[in-house]
Structure 1
Amino acid sequence: MQALPVGILRVEYFTADATAAAAGDVITLFWAVQGADVATIYRMDGEREPFERGQAWRVPRTGSLRVAVRPNPDGLARFTLVVNNGVEEIAQELQITASCTETWFFEPVPSGAGCPTSPSVLSLAVYQPFERGVMFWIAEGRTIYALFNDGRAPAWLALPDEYRDGEPESDPSLNPPEGRQQPIRGFGLVWRTRETLRQRLGWATAPESAFETQLQQGASALFLRDRDGKVIGLYGTGEQWR
């Protein structure tokens, strides 16, 4: 390959031996550039645009590289070839469509859900509605999820259930308004000991009720089925739920 004068950069090609692959599969990237002796290939990480440059490989100006497919939450694995001659820089992105090794327990799958990271599980669950949100207790992992509908951040919280049998179920000094209730046991403990959570949720509007749920963790969200059969997605680390 004949070299171009310094300062003239060009990506001749940046491709792969597959346009689609299962998450975790190994594919081969191929590239050729002009105007520089070396280049860098980045794996692009993140949940949404703009994606960030993650794992990097310093490579010669032409060659091949075997890499594992690791999709972003939108189901695409992204790689960027970057060429820099000290004066200017050019970049070219390559996208691979990733098929999931696990399947979601529900249909239709919302856009941006990406792939499940584990199989779905069945679990005992408890639900309670509040003035400005709801709480779920999931036996699998003994976790309490507080979902707020006040439009503030975070939109939801995941909290450990630290209540143990024999401890006080409620605080008799707290008197709810008419038609409202003080949550008890695990819900009550997090509600009483976290003032911001208590203020955001308000009082319980009905007793807690038990049901069986199905839940599954994904790259961008945890999905669970509520007592009415509706699937709820808890996105990010409290960013949103829907």
Structure 2
Amino acid sequence: MRPVRRHFWRFFIAFLLAGLLAACEASTGYVVPTSLPTVTPTFTPSPSPTPGTNATPSAVPTEDIDPDAPTPTPLLGEVNIIVATQAATPTRSLNPNAPRIEFFTSDQLVVNPGNDITLYWSVLNVDRAVIYRLDADGSRSQAYNVFADGDLTVPTRASDRGQIDFVITANDNQVEAQHTVLLRCPVDWFFSPAPDDCATGEPDETNITDQQMERGRMLYVESRDVVYVLFNDGQEPAWLSFENRYDPDVHPERDENAPPEFIQPLRELGLVWRTNDIVRTRLGLGIAEGVDFAGFVQAAPVGTSREMLYISGADGTVLQLLPGNDEWQIIAPQ
């Protein structure tokens, strides 16, 4: 009996423990950790006070400062304020031994044509210099070898016009300076408004023949013994000049074979018109007979070898012929 009872209790205790373990497993579950929910703040506007229309502004309190009161001292001592400034750029100093023109001038800045001009100059750190007189085209026409400083008298011609330019150079043209002397205009123009240029000489009073053509104009100036042909057909050249070769003992005054209704140039003008195909073709026939009258011719120099020419017209105008045969124009005197 005793062994059977012992086995019973062992079996009973084992069965009881198994039941307890099964009950614990059935009540146990898996727990998954999750983040706590975050509270999202919501903006709720708060009412701001609105002052009334009759509100009186309150005074802002100000602090009374005693001028005799001590000023606060920084705990770390005196404070230095550093202001940034731009560094100065060093400039190259001039070589005191280099050649240099101290001055170059004259006793007069404006003279009459034909009067003398006295030049004065000083060039440092050289022994010699050269003074050039420039012509109307700017070329060095006359040379004067001079000392480093001094004076020089230069004559002018009565025919000089406009201005006279001088250049001083030294040390093989490494340094130079220019000086200009203006020339007064000693003559008047025969018409106004007068050109800015100074006339070469007094106006020349002479007999002139002026004839209007279909596409231009012809003039014969007796004092120059030249026939001027002016075209207005837009082609080049705009004007031409021909030395007069008309001889009344040799050449006919007109072409007798031309229809009587033709207006043809006569004498000096007629010889050029009849013997030059280009002139005749470009000008066409005359639109009026030539007019003989007493007029003027005057010129102004342009450069060293050319001139601007002004000729009286039979209609009271002045004809300006520009150098180079490229252009001519009519001036209405005032």
Q: Do the structures match in fold with TM over 0.5?
A: yes
Which amino acid letter does the alignment assign opposite residue 169 of structure 1?
E
Distance 1:4 1:197, change over 3 A: farther
Question: Quick check: 1:192 aligned with 2:274?
Answer: yes
Match of 2:114 among 18, 21, 24: 24
Identity of paired residues, percent?
34
Partner Cα distance (2:254, 2:140) in 1:
50
Contact 1:16–1:27 at 8 Å: present in 2 too?
yes
Number of the residue aligned with 1:100: 185
5+ residue gaps, structure 2? 1-94, 302-306, 330-334
Match of 1:139 among 222, 228, 231: 222
1:52, distance to aligned residue in structure 2 (A): 2.3
Kindly indicate whether structure 1 or structure 2 has the higher relative contact order, using CA contacts under 8 Å at least 6 residues apart: 1
Number of the residue aligned with 2:77: none
Question: Quick check: 1:170 aligned with 2:260?
Answer: no
1:59-208 equivalence runs, <5 A? 59-69=146-156, 75-83=162-170, 85-86=171-172, 89-111=174-196, 113-114=197-198, 116-166=199-249, 167-171=251-255, 181-208=263-290
Question: Quick check: 1:53 aligned with 2:140?
Answer: yes
Partner Cα distance (2:190, 2:283) in 1:
30
Structure 2 counterpart SS, 1:218: strand
1:122, distance to aligned residue in structure 2 (A): 1.9
1:174, distance to aligned residue in structure 2 (A): 6.3
Contact 1:45–1:72 at 8 Å: present in 2 too?
no
1:195, distance to aligned residue in structure 2 (A): 3.4
Distance 1:17 1:150, change over 3 A: farther
Give deviations 1:44-83, integer Å, cap 9, x for gaps. 2226xxx22222222222221111235875x222222233
1:137, distance to aligned residue in structure 2 (A): 0.9
Which amino acid letter does the alignment assign opposite residue 235 of structure 1?
L
Partner Cα distance (1:153, 1:34) in 2:
55
Number of the residue aligned with 2:132: 42
Match of 2:308 among 215, 221, 234: 221
Distance 1:12 1:108, change over 3 A: same
1:136, distance to aligned residue in structure 2 (A): 0.9
Larger-Rg structure: 2
1:191, distance to aligned residue in structure 2 (A): 2.1
Partner Cα distance (1:19, 1:240) in 2:
35
How high is the TM-score relative to the length of structure 2?
0.59
Partner Cα distance (2:269, 2:245) in 1:
10
Distance 1:42 1:236, change over 3 A: farther
Structure 1 counterpart SS, 2:150: strand
RMSD: 2.9
Match of 1:13 among 85, 103, 111: 103
1:29, distance to aligned residue in structure 2 (A): 0.8
Give deviations 1:154-193, integer Å, cap 9, x for gaps. 44333222112142233456679xx864323211211233
1:110, distance to aligned residue in structure 2 (A): 1.7
Structure 1 counterpart SS, 2:240: strand
Distance 1:41 1:239, change over 3 A: farther
Partner Cα distance (1:4, 1:173) in 2:
86
Structure 2 counterpart SS, 1:163: coil
Contact 2:113–2:160 at 8 Å: present in 1 too?
no
Partner Cα distance (1:231, 1:80) in 2:
38
